[in-house]
Amino acid sequence: GTHEMLARELHETYRTSTAAPKDGTSYHLPWEELPETAKDENRRQSSRIHRLLDQTGYRIIALQDFDGDAFQFSVEEVEQMARLEHELWCQAKLADGWKFGPIRDAKKRTHPDLLQWEQLPPGEKEKNYAFIRGLPSLLSKSGFQIDNRLKNPK
């Protein structure tokens, strides 16, 4: 369904847009070769997208407009969703036994971004902003778009 398609696209976007981590994780493998735990992380992020959009009055629908990827959130919506995405990501990591550490280490389960939103460095916040701004494109690649009829009923 929607979640699995988005999870695969999230992984592919990550894999093609970032350098491989130096901690030996397998996150840059093709989807079919990923360990199930890594697939599950992408599935959880896919589920978070639904929550982010719901919180701001949007939902995901099948692609109907070929320019669905041109949709733009307001600055306030980007801020709200980026903050929520970070908070939900932190909750998921902590629930999986991760803790704050100055270096990302999958074996020790430490991550330098397990901080409150206000404590995150600007560059790390920007990653969240970019993710939110990129949602329309991500959804479009997967055959979906953002529907704002909940916000602006006709």
Q: What is the pLDDT of residue 16?
A: 80
How many CB atoms sit inside 10 A of residue 136's CB?
Answer: 19
Q: In 3-state terms, what secondary structure has residue 122?
A: helix
Average pLDDT over residues 63-78: 92
CA distances from 78 to 7, 57, 93 (A): 21, 13, 22
Mean pLDDT of 135-147: 92
- For residue 17, is it left (φ>0), alpha (ψ between -120 and 50) or beta? alpha
Higher-scoring residue by pLDDT: 80, 20: 80
Q: Which of 153, 130, 135 is nearest to 145 (CA)?
A: 135
pTM (predicted TM-score): 0.86
Average pLDDT taken over every residue of the chain: 89
* Between 86 and 27, the higher pLDDT residue: 86
Answer yes or no: is pLDDT of 26 > 70.
no
Residue 25's pLDDT band (cuts 50, 70, 90): low
Integer-rounded Cα Rg, in Å, for the chain is 16
CB atoms within 10 A of CB 11: 23
Query: Would the pLDDT of 24 be above 80?
Result: no
Q: In the prediction, which pLDDT does 22 show?
A: 59
Question: How high is the pLDDT of residue 122?
Answer: 95
Q: Is 6 exposed, middle or buried (0-12, 13-18, 19+ CB in 10 A)?
A: buried
Mean per-residue pLDDT, 14-39:
76
Query: pLDDT exceeding 70 applies to what percent of the chain?
Result: 90
